[in-house]
Structure 1
């Protein structure tokens, strides 16, 4: 069998993208069960037979949704949690920004994922649940690493992880802002990460060294500053 050419592979990806866009509209309006393969085929100009060259059924589209958001997000955050190339604070910012950007790139598609979770075949539902747990664990790991390096406030780890993930997911319900949003998905994700982490990351520079000695060093600075202010007041 001849290998697919770049041209044919490109057309395959293009048609798949068109099918995803058609599913965004049809599934949102009629639900997964209420949408036929014929309707999907008609929406992109394919015959009922022709559509099988691209998908075997509606489950393929649901799998694309899960892979494009849940599975890839879990893989990305897992890699960030295991990395040691940059500080934990930088990697936590990257994690939140990348999640928000991913949603901002396809907000309708992400809403489709959220509203059709009950329609997933059991095997796909298990993958989805497993990936969501992995995402939460990776986010918790990044927050704990920030605590250990001294860049994070003394927050509840899991509660903070849920809040950051929820903030990124909520982008699907407001981006783009109708008629006035000039932020690209990357810009929106980056700015949202700045805002979300304002209450998580510390607002003062870290002292060098492990978190506990660093915290003690900062505390000693505060005591010395207080003693100086008291001395100046007395004089």
Structure 2
């Protein structure tokens, strides 16, 4: 039997492999990659690991992406796009600085919960590759913009004068980012999520506001 007869492709690739490869989209493949990156660490993940997790050949993965660093960039870009998108929302751009920073904090927690695997990966990059260094720089940019809002709120007199703003900024980000280590979404947890967001914002800003 000829190769074409056996595979239907003329390339030596089985019909079942081609069919399975074609069921994967860049998005579904990305979801698998992010899960493995978070489980094994990016440096500890090989294309072989991704191939086994996806149940497709490495060549099938290369059909969609150039390699694992492209998958990493797509993943952290998704998280960063969600975070920076918050800063473009009307309530993040208008009003007193303290109201804007509270809104940004609330929305940051909401994005973290909605995009938990992607934000988790973003917070764990180490800077060992070009993509990781780019992601770290973008993270610092986002953090700085939130810190600037806190400084503006302090300058407006809306935050307590006896609180060190640099320390408050670090504690705020530490509280938010720690969610990736313990928060796990519940199937029917919309109310639970709302409560978590409200509690975090209240704990942070009840201790910072002057009123």
Normalised to the residue count of structure 1, the TM-score between the two structures is 0.64
Partner of 2:166: 158
Bigger radius of gyration: 1
Q: Which region of structure 1 is more displaced relative to structure 2, 148-157 or 184-193?
A: 184-193
* Separation of aligned partners in 1, 2:40 and 2:63: 24
1:68 corresponding residue in structure 2: 78
Give how far 1:151 is off: 1.9
Deviations 1:67-102 (A, max 9, x none): 23346525644778982x222122111111122122
Alpha-carbon distance between aligned partners in 2 of 1:40 and 1:199, rounded to the nearest angstrom: 45
CA deviation profile, 1:141-186 (whole Å, cap 9, x unmatched) = 2112212333221122221111111111111122137799554646
Structure 2 CA distance for partners of 1:167 and 1:80, relative to 1, 3 Å = farther
Backbone CA RMSD of aligned residues: 3.3
Unaligned runs of 5+ in 1: 1-11, 204-235
CA contact (8 A) 1:74 1:134 kept: no
Provide the TM-score with structure 2 as the length reference. 0.70
Larger RCO of the pair (alpha carbons < 8 Å, separation 6+): 1
Q: Determine if the alignment matches structure 1 residue 111 to structure 2 residue 120.
A: yes
How many residue pairs match? The answer is: 188
* Residue 206 of structure 2: aligned partner: 198
Partners of 2:153 and 2:159 within 8 A in 1: yes
Change over 3 Å in CA distance of 1:82–1:98 after alignment to 2: closer
Q: 1:92 and 2:101 equivalent?
A: yes
Partner of 1:135: 142
Q: Secondary structure at the match of 1:18?
A: helix
Q: Aligned partners of 2:25 and 2:194: how far apart in 1?
A: 25
Structure 2: 5+ residue stretches without partners: 1-21
